[in-house]
Structure 1
Amino acid sequence: MRSFRLLVVCCFSPLAFAADIPGSQDLPIVPRMTDAQIVDYRPATELERIYPLGSIRKISGQLRFDGQVSARGNATSVTYELPPEHSSLDAFTAARESLQKQDAQLLFWCQARDCGESSLWANDVFGNAKLYGADDRQAYLLLRLAAPRDNTLVALYSITRGNRKAYLHVEQFDAAAPLGDLLPTSATLLRELKSTGELDFPQLTGDPDETWLRLISRGLNLDTTLRVSISGPKAETWRQALIGQGVRTARMEAGSVEGSGLHLELLR
């Protein structure tokens, strides 16, 4: 009887719970959260990959979204089950902040019901049923790594299931050919501004670029209660151009952040 009790204790020990699936490993670009375990791992596989740049839905059996990035290359993914003391959003935020510190560019970011149905992300986008959970407890982010690794994309998806288990999925995609110009959505710029308090565009060193002007003005006009400061060598020119795009003058003031390009900072 005593040996049976020992066996039961062993089976439910923390060491047994923390074991990763055989042959799995972390992706070097994203640090693992303490005590998380790998429950799904897919080594590099060459395929044609499509990443949504908008909320997803199904119409007449077909997956629909407003924009996408599609390319051929090698995809590697790892899915973590998180320890009970950390939420899926904790892990998502930690991974995002780590990638942003590496100067990764955010392309599309959604949270909760703004992403669409979790079942579609789990089954149709990532092909991983473990990622199916509550629509209001999900988050998705697509990023592009900084040069010279700018032909690499990273997708993050976090979810909390109905049984309260939380997961973080990390996918790295190395494109076989140059990805070319990729632009963030206006809603993503707004979410980044609200979450981090700033938007930095080191590449925008000259007069307003029409494409970026349109993206930034639309982002700012999605929430007309926000005020920002604008810094950079052409800050006043950008401010006037944004006014011309319908951003109210009272919402913008001159900033003092030094740098080579355009910089917007949220005024609290």
Structure 2
Amino acid sequence: MHLSRALGVVLCLSVYASVSQAADVTGSQDFANLPRPTDAEIVDYRPAAELERIYPMGSIRKISGQLRFDGQVSSRGNATSVTYELPPERSADEAFTAAREALQKQNAQLLFWCQARDCGESSLWANEVFSNSRLYGADSGQAYLLLRLAAPNNDTLVALYSITRGNRRAYLHVEQFQASAPLGALLPTSATLLRELKSSGDLNLPMLTGAPAEPWITLLSRGLNLDSTIRVTLSGAQSDAWREALVSKGVRAARLEAGSVKTSGLTLQLIR
């Protein structure tokens, strides 16, 4: 065989071998409640460790050397994390959306959701929040989501962070946190409620079974008024009372219509 051709065959075989031998980091495993992204590889795994954890609920920035954000959830407990590197044909947005939808199907509650530059600086998320430099990329290519699992696991939080780096490699980071003490009442941000509504077309709030009350009236009215162009329907046993409450908070009545969804709580649906 010609020498150059032989070298080419050896090179191809070595490349194939390195690809075929690519595997998850030793000792790693997926979360039972979250399916692995298709053809993804675990490149970082941190088993359960007890620590004090702070999860931002706002755009993060650094001022005078201190990390700043508008809101947070903080508690002590056990955190476990998995970082997936996605195959070239799978985008970070696609993996992030699939993870979010899988958790929502289990009735997890969204607490905070940001995308791109609305999240702040990717370098801060990577290095300050998750202590994982692999997650540093373009601010425009990131997304972050904090969820609370449904009862009886409602003292467990799940953080999702996706990023596309400058070399086009995409990652999905998943962190699950089991609090040592009850987390108590946790409320989503108004911007998160609006993002969920616009993303899926509906916003289901099964916990709102009674008459309208604070702080939900303010949260919903502020969320709807962040985009005054959208119109929604309201469904539920107390939907008429909710409509009046939202109008009293400055939401134009013409933007709120009666819905037909059968629900014990409150459901908002986007009018396309």
**Could you tell me the TM-score, scaled by structure 1's length?**
0.97
Equivalent residue number for residue 152 of structure 1: 156
Q: 1:250 aligns with which of 254, 258, 266?
A: 254
Residues of 2 paired with 1:25 and 1:115: CA distance? 28
Matches within 5 A, 1:88-127: 88-127=92-131
How far 1:15 moved relative to its partner? 2.0
Give the counterpart letter for 1:9 in structure 2.
Answer: L
Cα deviation, residue 147, structure 1: 0.2
Q: Deviations over 1:88-113 (max 9, x none)?
A: 11100000000000000000000000
* 1:78 and 2:82 correspond: yes
List structure 1 segments (4+ residues) > 6 angstroms apart after TM superposition: none
2:195 to 175, 185, 191: 191
Matched, 1:135 2:153: no
Q: Which of 243, 262, 265 is the matching residue for 2:266? A: 262
Counterpart-to-counterpart distance in 2, 1:141 and 1:46 = 22
- Once the two structures are overlaid, the 10-residue window that deviates more, 22-31 or 256-265, is 22-31
* Residue identity matched to 2:143: A
Whole-Å separation in 1 of the counterparts to 2:180 and 2:145: 21
Percent sequence identity is 71
Contact 1:104 1:145 in 2 (8 A): yes
Q: 1:227-242 maps to which residues of 2 (within 5 A)?
A: 227-242=231-246
Q: Describe the SS at the equivalent of 1:95.
A: helix
The reply to whether residue 59 of structure 1 matches residue 63 of structure 2 is: yes
In 2, the alpha carbon distance for the partners of 1:179 and 1:75 equals 15
**1:246 is aligned with what amino acid?**
G
Residue 210 of structure 1: SS of its match in structure 2?
Answer: coil
Asked if 2 retains the 8 angstrom alpha-carbon contact of 1:10 and 1:16, the reply is no
Q: Give the residue type in structure 2 aligned to 1:44.
A: A
**Secondary structure of the structure 1 residue equivalent to 2:215:** helix
Q: Residue type matched to 1:215 in 2?
A: L
1:211 & 1:30 partners in 2: Cα distance? 31
Q: Which SS does the other structure have where 1:188 is aligned?
A: helix
Match of 2:42 in 1: 38
Q: From the CA coordinates, give the structure whose radius of gyration is larger.
A: 2
Structure 1 position 168 matched with structure 2 position 194: no
* Letter of the structure 1 residue corresponding to residue 158 of structure 2: V
Does 1:16 find its partner at 2:24?
no
What's the offset of the Cα at 1:161? 0.2
Give the CA deviation at 1:6: 4.0
Partners in 2 of 1:172 and 1:64 — Cα distance?
A: 23
Structure 1 segments unaligned to the other structure (5+ residues): none
Q: Secondary structure of the equivalent of 1:80?
A: strand
Residue among 204, 207, 210 paired with 2:208: 204
Indicate the RMSD between aligned Cα atoms, in angstroms. 1.3
**SS in structure 1 opposite 2:82?**
strand
Cα offset for 1:21?
A: 1.0
Aligned pairs, how many? 267
Partner Cα distance (2:20, 2:103) in 1: 29
How far did 1:30 drift? 1.2
CA contact (8 A) 1:230 1:254 kept: yes
What secondary structure does 1:193 align onto? Answer: helix
Please point out which of 47, 54, 58 is paired with 1:50. Answer: 54
Give the deviation of 1:7 after TM superposition: 6.5
Describe the SS at the equivalent of 2:198.
helix
TM-score (norm 2): 0.96
